[in-house]
Amino acid sequence: MNTMVKMDAPAKEITLQHGVKVVARDVSVYYGEKRALFDINLDIRERSITALIGPSGCGKSTFLRCLNRMNDTIPIARVTGRIEIDGRDIYDPELDVVQLRANVGMVFQKPNPFPKSIYENVAYGPRIHGMAQSKADLDSVVELSLRRAGLFEEVKDRLADSGTSLSGGQQQRLCIARAIAVNPEIILMDEPCSALDPIATAKIEELMDELRQNYTIVIVTHSMQQAARVSQQTAFFHLGILVECGTTVNMFTTPTDKRTQDYITGRFG
Chain residues binding another protein by CB under 8 A are: 1-5, 224-225, 228, 252-255, 261-262, 264-269
Q: Among residues 3 and 213, whose Cβ is nearest to another protein?
A: 3
Of 217, 224, 237, 235, whose CA–CA distance to 67 is shortest?
217
CB 83 to another protein: min, Å: 30
**Cα 67 to the chain's mean position, in Å?**
10
CB 209 to another protein: min, Å: 19
CB 264 to another protein: min, Å: 5
CB 201 to another protein: min, Å: 14
Whether 72 contacts 29, CB under 8 Å: no
Helix (H, G, I), strand (E, B) or coil at 147: helix
Q: Among residues 1 and 160, whose Cβ is nearest to another protein?
A: 1
Q: Among residues 87 and 266, whose Cβ is nearest to another protein?
A: 266
Q: Among residues 88 and 267, whose Cβ is nearest to another protein?
A: 267
Instruction: Determine the residue type at 44.
Output: I
Q: Among residues 110 and 222, whose Cβ is nearest to another protein?
A: 222
Phi, psi (degrees; rounded to nearest 5) at 67 = -75, -20
CB 193 to another protein: min, Å: 16
Number of Cα atoms under 13 Å in the Cβ half of residue 261: 6
Phi, psi (degrees; rounded to nearest 5) at 126 = -55, -35
Whether 18 contacts 45, CB under 8 Å: yes
Of 98, 56, 106, 65, whose CA–CA distance to 83 is shortest?
65
